[in-house]
């Protein structure tokens, strides 16, 4: 017992020493960057520093030359972000080639093809990209979120001790759905965040986390949970010209309790009412890792003859959100629009095709932050919300050491968009 106590005690000391080492390295990096600020500053043609399309830099200082490492899962997204940053910064290229080749046993390693020394590194990964495969023992295996996360750690390990600062851009938070434990369960999201912190990651950027409170696991690491509400609002208003933005003609709907905060935020800015469904579950059984939903019960005022907007963080199989849309149509609403940050469509598109044909909903809006199957973009009911410039603005703003407040919660810009639409 005494030996175990001693081991735990020394383990805690070792962890604190590693954390202190990373803290001192980050501080030294900022001091070096500040001293070289004049050499690193990038100017726009009008002489002002570029801060991306939001233009909120306020004259912030550079923290080192940007380096973007896009894993294979996020390679296309990385290329698009690099192109946008190149346009903003005078044609300079920021992509750093890297790869994770595998041995015949299935094991892998990361090889970074350019120097990352003292650079401000941004690693992009899409843990939801299920289009990639690898060979092992003569058979083809599809890459899972676990495989993508392992590759991310390999890239971090290849950069650590050399890069000035490492920021991970992970739009879909790995294991974000396993954010709490109720019985003898693993708490995978918390373990992942602690691992990244111990490996020297300075910041993690994610979008619309399933449970934003996960950032409490790593109080000493920067955790940015970014809302895509502005992009959804802009896309929605640009696509439809006959919207009547008042409580008599429109309502926001939360498909479950977890979506309430997102809905309240948008409804407050739109100045309209909300409704909410709650999931009645069978807590005596577990199916596919969770208690199955028995029914969706609605709480709220009448939706008759109104346009309703259902907002959620993800569409997985789509069963819950389609059942919500069906009930809203049966209640007499005029149109149903589905907003979801991540469109995974894990069970394919047949259910959505049928529901659209039956008139359950009018349009599905999701972002391009995760892999989108080519056939999805051809669906008449689908609209892809482009987030490339938003991600580029995050990188640009962080690299200048400027505030992210307006990007993470862009209430003011949403208000402007609404006032402009109303005329």
pLDDT digits (tens, 9 = 90+) for 347-369: 999 999 999 999 999 999 999 99
C-alpha closest to that of 323 among 277, 287, 285: 277
pLDDT value for 347 = 92
Q: Which CATH architecture has domain 229-386?
A: 3-Layer(aba) Sandwich (3.40)
pLDDT value for 245 = 95
pLDDT value for 47 = 39
Quote the mean pLDDT of the chain: 85
Q: Does the pLDDT at position 41 exceed 50?
A: no
Q: Does the pLDDT at position 52 exceed 50?
A: no
User: Please, which pLDDT band fits residue 274 given cuts at 50, 70 and 90?
Assistant: very high
- What tokens does 116 get? 């990352």
Question: Per-residue pLDDT averaged across 228-254, rounded?
Answer: 96
Every domain of the chain with CATH number 3.40.50.2020 lies at 2-227+390-404, 229-386
CA separation for the pair 120, 109 (Å, rounded): 22
- Maximal C-alpha separation, the chain: 73
Kindly report, residue by residue over 174-202, the tens digit of the pLDDT.
998 887 777 788 999 999 999 999 999 99
Kindly report, residue by residue over 3-30, the tens digit of the pLDDT.
454 555 555 565 555 555 554 555 454 4
C-alpha closest to that of 37 among 120, 99, 101, 156: 120
H-helix or E-strand containing 25? helix 2-35
Kindly report, residue by residue over 301-349, the tens digit of the pLDDT.
899 999 999 999 999 999 889 999 999 999 999 999 999 999 999 999 9
- Is domain 2-227+390-404 classified as CATH 3.20.20.210? no
């Amino acid at each position: 017992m005494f030996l175990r106590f001693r081991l735990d005690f020394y383990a805690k000391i070792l962890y604190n020493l590693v954390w202190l080492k990373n803290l001192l390295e980050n501080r030294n990096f900022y001091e070096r960057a500040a001293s070289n600020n004049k050499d690193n500053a990038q100017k726009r043609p009008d002489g002002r520093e570029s801060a991306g399309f939001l233009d909120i830099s306020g004259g912030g200082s550079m923290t080192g030359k940007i380096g973007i490492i896009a894993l294979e899962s996020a390679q296309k997204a990385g290329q698009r972000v690099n192109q946008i940053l190149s346009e903003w910064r005078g044609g300079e290229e920021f992509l750093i080639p890297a790869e994770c080749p595998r041995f015949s046993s299935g094991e892998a390693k990361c090889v970074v093809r350019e120097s990352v020394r003292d650079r401000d590194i941004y690693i992009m990964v899409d843990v939801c990209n299920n289009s990639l495969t690898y060979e092992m023992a003569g058979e083809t295996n599809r890459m899972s979120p676990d495989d993508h996360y392992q590759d991310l750690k390999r890239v971090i390990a290849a950069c650590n001790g050399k890069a000035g600062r490492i920021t991970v851009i992970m739009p879909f938070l790995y294991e974000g759905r396993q954010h709490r434990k109720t019985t003898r369960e693993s708490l995978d999201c918390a373990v992942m965040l602690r691992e990244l912190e111990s490996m020297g990651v300075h910041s993690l950027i994610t979008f619309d986390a399933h449970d934003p409170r996960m950032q409490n696991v790593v109080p000493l690491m920067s955790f940015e949970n970014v809302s895509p509400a502005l992009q959804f609002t802009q896309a929605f208003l640009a696509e439809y010209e006959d919207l009547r933005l008042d409580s008599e003609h429109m309502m926001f709907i939360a498909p479950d309790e977890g979506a309430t905060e997102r809905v309240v935020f948008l409804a407050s800015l739109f100045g309209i009412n909300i409704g909410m469904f709650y999931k009645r579950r069978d807590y005596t059984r577990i199916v596919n890792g969770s208690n199955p939903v028995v029914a969706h019960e609605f709480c709220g005022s009448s939706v008759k003859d109104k346009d309703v907007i259902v907002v959620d963080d993800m569409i997985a199989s789509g069963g819950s959100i389609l059942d919500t849309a069906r009930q809203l149509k049966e209640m007499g609403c005029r149109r149903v629009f589905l907003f979801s940050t991540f469109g995974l469509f894990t069970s394919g598109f047949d259910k959505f095709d049928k529901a659209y044909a039956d008139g359950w909903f009018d349009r599905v809006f999701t972002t391009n932050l995760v892999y989108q199957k080519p056939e999805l973009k051809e669906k008449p009911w689908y609209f892809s919300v482009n987030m490339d410039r938003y991600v580029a603005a995050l990188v640009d703003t962080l690299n200048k050491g400027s505030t992210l407040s307006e990007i993470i919660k862009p209430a003011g810009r949403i208000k402007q968009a609404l006032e402009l639409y109303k005329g």
